[in-house]
Amino acid sequence: MKIVSIVGARPQFIKCAPVSRALRKDHQEILVHTGQHYDENMSGIFFEELSIPTPDYHLGIGSGSHGAQTGRMLAAIEEVLLKEVPDMVLVYGDTNSTLAGALAAAKLHIPVAHVEAGLRSFDRSMPEEINRVLTDHASDLLFVPTQNGVANLAREGIQKGVYRVGDVMVDALLFNRELAGRSDILDRLDLEAGAYYLATVHRASNTDDEQHLRSIMDSFVALDRPVIFPAHPRTRKYLEQYGIAPEPISNIRLIEPLPYLDMLQLLGQAAAVLTDSGGVQKEAYILQVPCITLRENTEWVETVEDGWNVLAGADTNRIIAAVNQITGERRNQQNGQFRTHSAHYGDGTAADAIRRIISAFDKE
């Protein structure tokens, strides 16, 4: 079977790595990089570090409004599909690259497989939520990480082609954890394990809203440990535009985006992480690092239910209180156990399950 896999953003590169390794055992894979993340630290270095094959197509779409970016991707992906005539298109997650790939394939009557299907934040103001819903309804195979995801799809009338396979991010973490342990990022940043917080902020609801971004930065300044803040290019742009200068007058250390293995090591050794990223919430849970989510909702509800994640929005006082609450509980933990920790996201075999299901689909 010839499969066109479409990626475009950092989290998708991570998810793609284990699936690509599995698929290439049985199938021909054509890898398409839309160029949604085009900075070298946000894109190129990931392919080398994670041993992802060099993309067969790099569309170079770059940034833009949601409509313009998705439209350019749709046209460019359609050209690739008409040339390659694949048997299936595989998309990941919830970005504009995801939706464009699914729409282009569906319009050409090519089966669509969606990795990380069924997630819902139930907040239609999030572009990612729109992308998730539309992609799921255009898909023939829906690879769902959790039972909650299966239930979400059933409520929307989607039951055919739904497979709970676990989460490919667990596959990636287990595969890369030992390599990440060799990273010297703590030495390079002169940090001690457990003596800092890690922060990531990139969602438009936080970066494009001056009050939200100021409130988040104010909370970081007030925390009791240094905040290491690898700044997404979008976030850095708005920090400059709003005249917010977190350095050198505060404990916020603004640094460039990091390669995956450095980021994984920095996350695993943090006292807690403060983030608006869905992927980072889940990685923190898997690594058993407390998380404060800078949003009012999450698609990874299991992390909240198990007590490892607190939703704090963009309110300064709520963020500070959430950090104090979750880190205080961890300091007071007894018998070496902090809250509940369950294997909601599988055991690291999701990629192989995806390979087997796609192979069976090919025989139908």
| Among candidate residues 162, 107, 120, 118, the one with its CA nearest the CA of residue 140 | 162
Q: Are 173 and 264 in contact (CB under 8 A)?
A: yes
**Beta strand 227-230 with 252-255: parallel, antiparallel or unpaired?**
parallel
Give the side-chain half-sphere CA count within 13 A for 126: 23
CB burial class (10 A; 0-12, 13-18, 19+) of residue 15?
Answer: buried
Cα 246–Cα 248–Cα 250 angle in degrees, nearest 5: 60
- Residue 58: what are its φ and ψ, rounded to 5°? -120, 110
Q: Are 36 and 46 in contact (CB under 8 A)?
A: no
Q: What is the CA radius of gyration of the chain?
A: 20
Distance CA 180, CA 194 (A): 17
Contacts of range 75-83, beta carbons closer than 8 Å, 24 or more positions apart: 76/34, 77/6, 77/32, 77/34, 77/101, 77/104, 77/105, 78/104, 78/107, 78/108, 80/4, 80/30, 80/32, 81/4, 81/105, 81/108, 81/110, 82/108
| Among candidate residues 150, 136, 142, 143, the one with its CA nearest the CA of residue 165 | 143
Active-site residue flag, 202: yes
3-class DSSP state of 322: helix
Catalytic option among 114, 202, 232, 344: 202
- Residue 111 corresponds to which tokens in the numbers above? 């089966």
Active site residues: 202
